[in-house]
Amino acid sequence: MHNLAKSKGWWDGPRNKFELIALMHSELSEAVEYLRKKEQPAMDDKVPELTGEAAEMADTVIRILDYCGAFGINLGDAIAKKYAYNTGRPYKHGKLA
Ligand SMILES: [Mg+2]
């Protein structure tokens, strides 16, 4: 994903991590906007066979993968380790009701 983003010119100069993370947030906000539309399911305006919700979830993951590729984060390893950790946590993390 990062190689694609580079090939499209998004990494021709330095990128600010805070801005990149804010752009991840913005994709989720776009998903909220699709869910707020009166007619459901609201279809994506660029890839009409996708719901807007699905398209924006994809955009969010694409931005996360690009970020991790750019900054050397092994996301697969991080997810596997978080999954293992979460598997060992108690029901509702041990919190009462
Ligand atoms: Mg989007």
Listed by start position, the domains of the chain span 2-90
> Tell me, what's the pLDDT at 67?
98
Cβ atoms 31, 53 nearer than 8 A: yes
pLDDT in tens, 26-37: 999 999 999 999
Cβ atoms 81, 45 nearer than 8 A: no
Model-level pTM greater than 0.85? yes
Ligand 1 being an ion, which residues bring their Cβ within 5 A of it? 27, 30, 56, 59
pLDDT in tens, 60-71: 999 999 999 999
Q: What is the CA radius of gyration of the chain?
A: 17
What separation in Å is there between the alpha carbon of 72 and the centre of ligand 1?
Answer: 24
C-alpha torsion sign, points 50, 51, 57, 63: positive
